[in-house]
Amino acid sequence: MRESFHGDLARLGEQLGAMCGLAAEAMRRANRALLTADLQLAEEVLTGDDQLDRAREACEEQAQSLLALQAPVAGDLRTILAAVYCAEKIERMGDLAAHVADAARFTHPDHAVPAELEGVFTELGEIGAGMADRVGELILGDAEGGHAELDETDHAVDALHARALAAITKDDWAHGVQAASNLALLARFHERFADQAVSVAKRLEFAETGRTSTT
Amino acid sequence: MRESFHGDLARLGEQLGAMCGLAAEAMRRANRALLTADLQLAEEVLTGDDQLDRAREACEEQAQSLLALQAPVAGDLRTILAAVYCAEKIERMGDLAAHVADAARFTHPDHAVPAELEGVFTELGEIGAGMADRVGELILGDAEGGHAELDETDHAVDALHARALAAITKDDWAHGVQAASNLALLARFHERFADQAVSVAKRLEFAETGRTSTT
């Protein structure tokens, strides 16, 4: 029975890992839709978001049934509660990717991101999606040191976020108030996406080691 | 033992209820700091936020120990998992109130909210804080119907959020790009605060009744 229990736990990890892949892909596609003003792609991301919502529900049901049937304690209990926590954060990453896609849809056929900020937003999307992928690896492998690593990456995201805000509030900003307000929100969606990845890495590491690495 | 277990569950509910009170108070104070450009009050809200962080950790530890020691099933298990979920959401409400306070600090000695939007932001703060209080009542009382009720209130928040965004993107906006970008983010913090309250109400109702009321 314990062996089957640990098989169930491993399957829960695989479900979470797959959710990370979905979140990474959603962010990549949403950001491409944003940068190319691709309405159809934006709508695909928005429609696809319920896949992550359902995956999260499945994780939670699986966790609940493990708790009820196996009454785990100590490390196993910590792992299951961490899985529930992480599933919620990863679902939220999908929501934030969908917000990016929604902004692309809202501004279409115009481009939400002016040429001088394309580099910043390209990087924000790539780093964010990479963080989601990395969290998936931490879930399936060894989470130790993961928090410090993701936290370090998050500093790069914060710096890009600050660059975007600085650009839209400079005196020579030429694209008007609406574009600036949209971009402030968009930069925040990216920043929050990365924050969720850091939270997941922190929680995974704590569940695995009882400690959290810091930078 | 079961009696003491249900006493422990009731205490967990009281902890959550107290967290709602803290979140409501944080939002009231943050919004007052925002509308009166009160730097000291803003800083108090920011410093006070760790009280909610600690309260949430205490809830989670309490839940974990109940799971380990009592191995609850069915409704009791659902209640404990709901408590963990809600504690996280209520902590997030505190974070969002702190973001409002941070915006007040950032723009001080200037006022972040121009006169023509004071009414909208006053209402956003009052409704949000009232939702946090109401969620506290749902936790300590009967959660049935709570989701539909909070969801209805949330429509008012969404309408105010839309009014704020419409004002800052109108052609005659007279306060510049930086103020507009700040206000777009501020309106979003309020909207997200209300969203968390709705999530908590939904989860409470589901844990209590196995269903969710809709509007």
Inter-chain touch A181–B181, beta carbons under 8 Å: yes
B71 touches chain A (CB under 8 A): yes
**What pLDDT score was predicted for residue B92?**
97
Average pLDDT, chain A: 95
**What pLDDT score was predicted for residue B107?**
95
Q: Average pLDDT for residues A15-44, to the nearest whole number?
A: 98
**What pLDDT score was predicted for residue A214?**
81
B24 versus A74: the higher-pLDDT residue is B24
Which amino acid makes up residue A147? H
Tell me which residue has tokens 């969801």: B151
Q: Percentage of chain B surpassing pLDDT 70? A: 98
Inter-chain touch B81–A74, beta carbons under 8 Å: no
Count how many residues are written for chain A: 215
- pLDDT classification of B191: cutoffs 50, 70, 90: very high
Q: Average pLDDT for residues B118-122, to the nearest whole number?
A: 98
**What pLDDT score was predicted for residue B211?**
84
Q: Is A81 exposed, middle or buried (0-12, 13-18, 19+ CB in 10 A)?
A: buried
Tell me the per-residue pLDDT of A63-95, one tens digit each, with 9 for 90 and over. 999 999 988 988 899 999 999 999 999 999 999
Inter-chain touch A177–B169, beta carbons under 8 Å: yes
Q: Average pLDDT for residues A174-197, to the nearest whole number?
A: 96
B115 touches chain A (CB under 8 A): no
Inter-chain touch A177–B173, beta carbons under 8 Å: yes
Please count the other Cβ atoms lying within 10 Å of the Cβ belonging to residue A159: 11
DSSP per-residue codes, B84-112: HHHHHHHHHHHHHHHHHHHHHHHHTTS-S
Tell me the per-residue pLDDT of B53-80, one tens digit each, with 9 for 90 and over. 999 999 999 999 999 998 898 889 999 9
* Chains A–B, number of C-beta pairs less than 8 Å apart: 66
Complex-level ipTM: 0.89
**What pLDDT score was predicted for residue A132?**
98
Which amino acid makes up residue A72? P
Cα dihedral sign, A201-B49-B156-B174: negative
Tell me the per-residue pLDDT of A127-158, one tens digit each, with 9 for 90 and over. 999 999 999 999 999 999 999 999 999 999 99
Q: Percentage of chain A surpassing pLDDT 90? A: 88
**What pLDDT score was predicted for residue A4?**
84
Q: Average pLDDT for residues B37-45, to the nearest whole number?
A: 98
Inter-chain touch B81–A60, beta carbons under 8 Å: yes
Give yes or no for residue B87 having a pLDDT over 90: yes
**What pLDDT score was predicted for residue A212?**
83
Inter-chain touch A168–B177, beta carbons under 8 Å: yes
**What pLDDT score was predicted for residue A2?**
62
Q: Is A135 exposed, middle or buried (0-12, 13-18, 19+ CB in 10 A)?
A: buried
- The H or E element that residue A64 is part of is helix A39-70
Structural domains in chain B? 2-209 (1.20.58.220)
Q: Is A172 exposed, middle or buried (0-12, 13-18, 19+ CB in 10 A)?
A: exposed
Residue in A130, A145, A123 with CA at minimum distance from that of residue A202? A145
**What pLDDT score was predicted for residue A74?**
86
A65 touches chain B (CB under 8 A): no
CB burial readout A22-57, b (16+ within 10 A) else e: bbbbbbbbbbbbbbebbeebbbbbbebbeebeebbe
Residue in B138, B145, B124 with CA at minimum distance from that of residue B192? B124
B188 touches chain A (CB under 8 A): yes
User: CA-nearest residue of chain B to A75?
Assistant: B68
Residue in B150, B43, B28 with CA at minimum distance from that of residue B86? B150
Residues in B closer than 8 angstroms to A81, CB to CB, are 60, 63-64, 67, 84
**What pLDDT score was predicted for residue A134?**
98
